[in-house]
């Protein structure tokens, strides 16, 4: 992360990353497919954590209540690393290729959430609408969390974003 911040993503090589980490280039590639994956390595476990939370939501939960449970899990997983998240997001924001990769990862999470909702008996298009809405809430709350100076926690910002969504969709 420090190399990306110091030199920029494009200017940083795998050899430099490996050297800074005390590894060989060959060892680096045992852990990461490429230098982009250094920034996205936790996406799979985050997705799994979120999907488990969705599955664990009470059967009586509405689609958006189940999504809220999944968002709580995302906030729990991400919320303890604000400074690292700020740094990571700064690197991503400075590079269109990384922005695209981030959107692909979020799209994959949305697809998983929609599938999970369908498994709970939520019909289309409701499952897709709820899942995609949840990802938008995640993105908006996360962006606020990494850019604002207030001490609000990520879970607080997630809940606030969901509450705002209810207000704006109610037409008030």
Q: Residue ranges of the domains in the chain?
A: 1-39, 42-169
- CB burial readout 131-157, b (16+ within 10 A) else e: bbbbbebbebbbebbbeeeeeeebbeb
- Nearest by Cα to 154 from 103, 83, 82: 82
CATH superfamily membership of 1-39:
Homeodomain-like (1.10.10.60)
pTM to 2 decimals? 0.89
Distance CA 167, CA 21 (A): 48
Same fold, 1-39 and 42-169: no
- Per-residue pLDDT 10s for the chain (172 aa) are 889 999 999 999 999 999 999 999 889 999 899 999 989 988 889 999 999 999 999 999 999 999 999 999 999 988 888 999 999 999 999 999 999 999 999 999 999 999 999 999 999 999 999 999 999 999 999 999 999 877 889 999 999 999 999 899 887 5
Report yes or no: 70 and 50 within 8 Å, Cβ to Cβ.
yes
DSSP per-residue codes, 12-72: --HHHHHHHHT--HHHHHHH-SSTTHHHHTTHHHHHHHHHHHHHHS-TT--HHHHHHHHHH
Q: Domain 42-169: give its CATH code.
A: 1.10.357.10
């Amino acid at each position: 992360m420090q190399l990306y911040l110091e030199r920029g993503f494009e200017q940083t090589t795998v050899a430099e990353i490996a050297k800074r980490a005390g590894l060989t280039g060959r060892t680096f590639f045992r852990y990461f497919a490429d230098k982009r994956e250094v920034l996205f390595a936790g996406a799979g476990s985050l997705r799994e954590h979120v999907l488990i939370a969705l599955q664990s939501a009470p059967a009586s939960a509405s689609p958006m209540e189940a999504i809220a449970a999944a968002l709580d899990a995302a906030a729990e997983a991400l919320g303890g690393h604000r400074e690292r998240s700020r740094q990571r997001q700064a690197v991503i924001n400075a590079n269109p290729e990384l922005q695209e990769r981030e959107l692909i990862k979020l799209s994959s999470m949305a697809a998983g959430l929609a599938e999970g909702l369908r498994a709970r008996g939520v019909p289309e298009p409701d499952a897709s609408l709820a899942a995609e809405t949840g990802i938008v809430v995640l993105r908006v709350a996360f962006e606020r969390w990494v850019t604002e100076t207030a001490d609000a926690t990520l879970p607080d910002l997630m809940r606030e974003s969901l509450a705002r969504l209810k207000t704006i969709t109610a037409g008030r």
